[in-house]
Chain A
Amino acid sequence: MDERDLELRNLTYGLFVELGRAPSAQEVGERAGASRDEVEASWRRLHDAHALVLNPATLELRMANPFSAVPTAYRVHAGDRWWYANCAWDAFGICAALHSDGRIETSCPDCGEPIAVEVRDERPDDPSLLFHCLVPAERWWADIVFT
């Protein structure tokens, strides 16, 4: 991962926020003055460096953490848009990354009952909820989609 990779990574994130969805390699290339092949090669290096996550089958973005490029169980309203987060940690992370209050909607993995959390000034409105992390930190990136 070199300086050009970081430049393309930051452009990718900027476009994600601007578009409200994952940009394609073509879209990033057009903005960066780079070819699609150059962007895809850079994304692969960034993936290997855990700076973003690609779908291994398509080489499209799967995660620009904390944002998810695909629908998940964690929906977040922040910055006047709805987003998908990869997990509960990332759901709060979207509010943090956008420097925004927000609303997180999900459901209890046990009973399926809806859970909604308002985030105001970086604080959740229901402090009684609990966060469970199943995988220890040393293995988070062994299978980041499962984590």
Chain B
Amino acid sequence: MNLFRSEEHIERWLGGRAPGATIPVTTLSDLAHAWWDDRVAPDWRPHTRDGNQAILDRLGLTGPFWRLPG
């Protein structure tokens, strides 16, 4: 789960491996803020699988790659 300067850098880094998913850093920031916002709250409770999937869905991170295990 890395940051890159461009698609060209990603392709070169992959070196022929099958790519995963690439998203803009702005979407990553939105994802991180939705996912981790409550993580150090003193009354934190575990997220549900469906709650986490809803975060991904809301940001357009849909399809098999972004499908959490059931």
**B36–A123 CB distance below 8 A:** no
Interface string of A62-82 (1 = CB under 8 A from B): 000110000000000000000
Within 8 A of A (CB), among B1-51: 1-7, 9-10, 12-13, 17, 19-46
Q: How far is the CA of A106 from the CA of B2 in the complex (A)?
A: 9
- A66 CB to closest chain B CB (Å) equals 5
Given contacts A97-B39, A124-B25, contact A108 B32 (CB under 8 A): no
Q: How many contacting A-B pairs (Cβ < 8 A)? A: 169
Residue from the list B10, B28, B37, B46 in contact with A97, Cβ < 8 A: B37
Please report whether the interface of chain A is mostly helix, strand, loop or mixed according to DSSP: mixed
Which residue of B has the minimal Cβ distance to A115? B3
A interface bracket (residues with beta carbon within 8 Å of B): 35 or more
**What is the number of residues of chain B that contact chain A, defined by CB distance less than 8 Å?**
47
B42 & A10 in contact (Cβ 8 Å cutoff): yes
- A residues within 8 A CB of B2? 87-88, 106, 109, 131-132
* A141 (CB) vs chain B CBs: closest residue: B69
